Amino acid sequence: MARAFNDMTRRLGEAQRQLTQADKLASIGRLAAGVAHELNNPLTGVLTYASFLEKRARGDPDVQRDLEIIVRETKRCREIVRGLLDFSRQTPPRRQPADLNEVVRHGVAIVMNQFAIDRVELKLALAADLPPVPADANRIQQVVVNLLVNAADAVGERGGTIQLATRTATVPARGHAAIRQATCPRGCDLLDPAVRIGGWSSIRVIRRVGDRDTIVHLDPVYGRARHRLSDGAGTGLPALYLCPLCRSRLDDPGRRCAECGRPTFAVSAGAAGPIEWCTRRDCHWTRWEAIEKAGPQRFAELQIEDTGRGIPRQHLDRLFEPFFTTKGGRGSGLGLAVTWRIVESHEGTIDVDSEPGRGTRFTVRLPYAVGPSAPVPPAAMPAPVPAGARGAP
């Protein structure tokens, strides 16, 4: 079975490398589900026989201890397999009005024993007046458990404190709303899942200065301006912006930046209207009229903060990628990918702030208003706060 497991892991790794980024998530999900199903039967054999023997070996402490290790490690395999299956699950959440505090208490009950063993102190600050939020309670509980387990891992063996708080938060669109659809005037899809900024696909455009073209990956979070440029040339020069696929112009000489008077360029977010940026590289002006008009949105907020080792800045952008782990051999690299997917499927958001040596804070926000009647189009939602190159396009 170990050989089969290794072989499948290797196949999974090879397949992962061969796939194009765009198809990667969906394909890994399908492959992982197949592998996970195949592993469940042999794991049932190992787990049942080993736990049966463990019960019968009570008179022999040495044998019992060895069997305990087999049982414990097989249960770890079980969690990895369940993680793969959770990750591959694409069905929409079944949202019903849920008491987030109740969901949190259930999640806490699951990890509390382990926390006591690990000398982790958990402080709860649950808002008393939290209205019910439309959520799939089981999946949000999984988010709570995943984040608590991560926080406990970060705190490590020396022990520490984890604070968990819930509250209602009103969040402005600027700096938070994510652009989940972006097309050029001819309808080409500009989202680039190969270059993600904090989990979201960036918006890929061409910046032309003179006869020189540069690829720019725009920050998909409205108003945040953590764009990525392949070089820093031509800061003060007039620039054109083009679709990288059909080369149609994105800039409009007739529209001017409200701050510096230069022309603006825009992409379309479908029903959520156009989003404009200034063509001057060092000007941060941007406008998404439909989202600004809709006003701030209310969220049920869950915050989990630890006093652990923190996350290096260069890892923040990749945290939510499947198979990315900072735990070495102890992590499957799926916990936060699953967490991300669950929160995203709720039209919610997840932010992470971290300071190496001091700790990490995850903030999950679930909208009170969802679906077609929501005041803000589903395309708009707050997004993670990741690292990345800063600067205007």
Q: Which stretch binds another protein (CB under 8 A): 70-78, 239-247, 291-299, 381-389?
A: 70-78
CB 33 within 8 A of CB 81: no
Identify which of residues 12 and 290 has a Cβ nearer to another protein in the complex: 12
Please choose, out of 86-94, 215-223, 286-294, 350-358, the segment that lies near another protein by the rule CB under 8 A: 86-94
CB of 66 or CB of 252, closer to another protein: 66
Closer CB to another protein, 74 or 307, in the complex:
74
Nearer to another protein, 221 or 334 (CB): 334
Angstrom distances, CA of residue 259 to CA of 147, 220, 278, 282, 283: 41, 21, 9, 11, 8
Residue 78 binds another protein, judged by CB under 8 A? yes
The set of long-range contacts for 363-366, using a CB threshold of 8 Å and a minimum separation of 24, is 363/301, 363/302, 363/303, 364/143, 364/147, 364/301, 364/302, 364/303, 365/169, 365/171, 365/299, 365/300, 365/301, 365/302, 366/100, 366/133, 366/134, 366/135, 366/140, 366/299, 366/300, 366/301, 366/302
Q: Determine, following the binding rule CB under 8 A, whether residue 40 of this chain makes contact with another protein.
A: yes
Give the nearer residue to another protein in terms of CB position, either 43 or 376: 43
**Does 41 sit near another protein (CB under 8 A)?**
yes
Q: Alpha-carbon distance 306 to 294, whole Å?
A: 34
Residue from the set 35, 36, 143, 225 that interacts with another protein by CB under 8 A? 36
Among 11, 37, 247, 293, binds another protein (CB under 8 A): 37
* Residue (of 269, 306, 302) closest to 287 by Cα position: 269
Q: 29, 74, 135, 277: which one contacts another protein (CB under 8 A)?
A: 74
Angle between helix axes 21-56 and 61-88 (nearest 10 degrees) is 150
Region near another protein per CB under 8 A, out of 83-91, 163-171, 259-267, 331-339: 83-91
Cα–Cα distance, 266 to 51 (Å, whole number): 62
Residue type, 17: R
Q: Round the CA-based radius of gyration of the chain to a whole number and report it.
A: 24
Residues between 101 and 140 with contacts to another protein, criterion CB under 8 A: 138
Q: How far apart are CA 56 and CA 295, in angstroms?
A: 65
32 binds another protein (CB under 8 A): no
* Best CA proximity match to 177, nearest among 379, 341, 362: 379
Q: Among residues 6, 9, 21, 48, which is the contact residue for another protein, using CB under 8 A?
A: 48
Span near another protein by CB under 8 A; candidates 80-88, 116-124, 161-169, 368-376 = 80-88
Tell whether residue 156 is a contact of another protein (CB under 8 A).
Answer: no
The counts of H helices and E strands in the chain are 8, 16
Looking at 4, 9, 14, 45, which residue binds another protein (CB under 8 A)?
45
253 binds another protein (CB under 8 A): no
Position among 6, 23, 52, 293 found at the interface with another protein (CB under 8 A): 52
Q: Which of 17, 59, 61, 91 touches another protein (CB under 8 A)?
A: 91
State the DSSP code for 186.
T
34 lies in the site for another protein, by CB under 8 A: no
Interior/surface letters 200-216, b for 16+ CB within 10 angstroms, e for the rest: bbbbbbbbbbeeeebeb
Task: Judge contact between 103 and 135, C-beta under 8 A.
Answer: yes
Site for another protein in 169-208 (CB under 8 A): none
The binding site for another protein (CB under 8 A) comprises: 36-37, 40-49, 51-52, 54-55, 71, 74-75, 77-78, 81-82, 85, 89, 91, 94, 138
